[in-house]
Structure 1
């Protein structure tokens, strides 16, 4: 299976269009504001009147009135004629005080229909509106969302995962979510959720891992790495999803538990090697970073495992075509892979042959010798620089800084 569906961070409207299409058709017939979805858009004054009416019913009506009001919020946002009017409607609803009663409807005393309708309304209010995302978290939405993320109803779980994704894109929400049980529950979604829920879970964890504030995201590598590797195998290596997945894997490769989890998963190293070969510049960078982290932690332990998966051609390509930082990582890893005093897994002649074959693929046989010579010179130069640096460090042990 190939992961084709992917959250478009620049267009949260696309996510909302996938939610509950059949229910919306039924709502069109029963809502008190359904007439506004046909004909000309309402004037600003008429729109304000409708927003105030919805807020009144949501705050003071009975359960049925609250559910209808929540449906009307979703409809009025989605039926706005252009992005600017959608943004204005979202702001008007927030100013009218609808977020707090919608969040209260997420709690378990309310029936599932009410909780689902409130969640859909909140998703529409949060889309492309950072202030509303912050308001939703401030109103206390995290605990009921965690309960929905554990609910036996798969549709509610998927909606809750989409909500966490949306809320996690606001910087000030990240520390709150990271300190909750969201990371553990999202890890469970990675293992058993639908395709879209797993995509949303990965993107949420990516968002939380980029937080500028404490507490930092802490993940259980044994629980997270296997599904991440599985998803990386299934997705296109140059996709935005692969970039986020490899970003998380590079972070996890920084711990011994994470490195062990990557190598214990069948095809874990191969998935990273394939990303180095076929990924985007970003996913290549993170994939080679993860492989380098493995080899730097214990060259004797991981070197042969990486070589066995055929990493050399992709690394050579990266030294020629990657970004400056990716080239540095690739060259450092190549040096670690070929420089071993204990065993000669890759001889000089074998390396030269591989480099020549790769050069011929890039520039053709006419220029292959020149290209191969340049690549080998770059690798030798990097090796000299590394050895010089190591010698300086050994000669000056007292230069270390005590923190």
Structure 2
């Protein structure tokens, strides 16, 4: 009975903190100055699923001001958030990923390797979420940071279905999610082209990457171009003819831009990828 009352009191305290902090940046900073962080971090280790979920929401709420981020990073909260990503309920996982994303923007003290244990779970969440969502952008941001180290790339590629999930994000994601997913694929391919080139190609990324070279963010365009170069088969035996490439690109682009605008867009893509001006060939083909 006493235990239940204690848990109810802790829940009430966490709800009060959330109410005070929600949509008020000044209150978020003041709450940390009053020392509430240590109590919330302690509740992140609670045996109660409800308390862990509320504590995760508390860290998420308090992690938005830049001045709070170094304090949260130093508190031990990130490793506990990773445990929530691994074993929490769906709301807890989403809040934990978002909190980690907020913390990842801090230049002081964030180490992406802390997410190594959660790579499989991040990919599973990315697979199941709407690729156009803000959550997909946050998950791919963390995975992109992970992919800059060999340990991170290993954790990603050892997760079943990871390449397909990333290719689907390039295809269906928002401009930012597509950018980060392309960056991850590029980091993986650059780390060992002989090992990963075919694995990536088998998931059919070429149409989406071609479109990204024109319609993506500035960074995504460069990343997509570089990845396409790595994925090209330079052997004479398997080289696609110029005419076949023109036909393929035109068909892809025409579904997005329409037949008239597709001529110009497809020409720009092919010129960028091959270094040659193929517009005449496309017009004749059409």
Structure 2 residue 250 is matched with structure 1 residue 359: no
2:28 maps to what in 1?
133
Q: Calculate the TM-score normalised by the size of structure 1.
A: 0.63
- From 38, 49, 52, the equivalent of 1:154 is 49
| Mapped partners of 1:329, 1:263: distance in 2 | 19
1:316/1:150 CA distance change after superposition, 3 Å: same
Could you tell me which runs of 5 or more consecutive residues in structure 1 were left unpaired when the two chains were aligned. 1-107, 383-403
1:170 CA drift (Å): 1.3
Contact 1:228/1:249 (CA < 8 Å) preserved in 2? yes
Instruction: Give runs of aligned pairs for residues 269-348 of structure 1, distance below 5 A.
Output: 269-338=163-232, 340=234, 347-348=240-241
1:371 CA drift (Å): 4.5
| Mapped partners of 2:77, 2:173: distance in 1 | 29
User: Bigger radius of gyration, 1 or 2?
Assistant: 1
1:71 maps to what in 2?
none
1:252 maps to what in 2?
146
1:32 maps to what in 2?
none
1:351 CA drift (Å): 4.1
1:250 CA drift (Å): 0.8
1:143 CA drift (Å): 2.4
Instruction: Give runs of aligned pairs for residues 187-226 of structure 1, distance below 5 A.
Output: 187-212=82-107, 214-226=108-120
Deviations 1:208-236 (A, max 9, x none): 00013x22234334312111000001100
2:81 maps to what in 1?
186
1:118 CA drift (Å): 1.3
1:358/1:140 CA distance change after superposition, 3 Å: same
Contact 2:116/2:146 (CA < 8 Å) preserved in 1? no
Instruction: Give runs of aligned pairs for residues 84-99 of structure 1, distance below 5 A.
Output: none
| Mapped partners of 2:201, 2:98: distance in 1 | 31
Contact 1:246/1:286 (CA < 8 Å) preserved in 2? yes
2:37 maps to what in 1?
142
1:363/1:227 CA distance change after superposition, 3 Å: same
1:152/1:344 CA distance change after superposition, 3 Å: farther
| Mapped partners of 1:365, 1:198: distance in 2 | 44
1:56 maps to what in 2?
none
1:186/1:221 CA distance change after superposition, 3 Å: closer
Deviations 1:202-261 (A, max 9, x none): 10000000013x222343343121110000011000101001111111111101111111
Q: Report how many residues are paired.
A: 272
1:41 maps to what in 2?
none
1:297 CA drift (Å): 2.3
| Mapped partners of 2:261, 2:239: distance in 1 | 24
CA RMSD across the alignment: 2.3
Contact 2:214/2:265 (CA < 8 Å) preserved in 1? no
Deviations 1:125-152 (A, max 9, x none): 1112222212222222222212211211
1:372 maps to what in 2?
266
Could you tell me which runs of 5 or more consecutive residues in structure 2 were left unpaired when the two chains were aligned. 277-286
1:363/1:129 CA distance change after superposition, 3 Å: closer
1:208/1:373 CA distance change after superposition, 3 Å: same
1:164/1:271 CA distance change after superposition, 3 Å: same
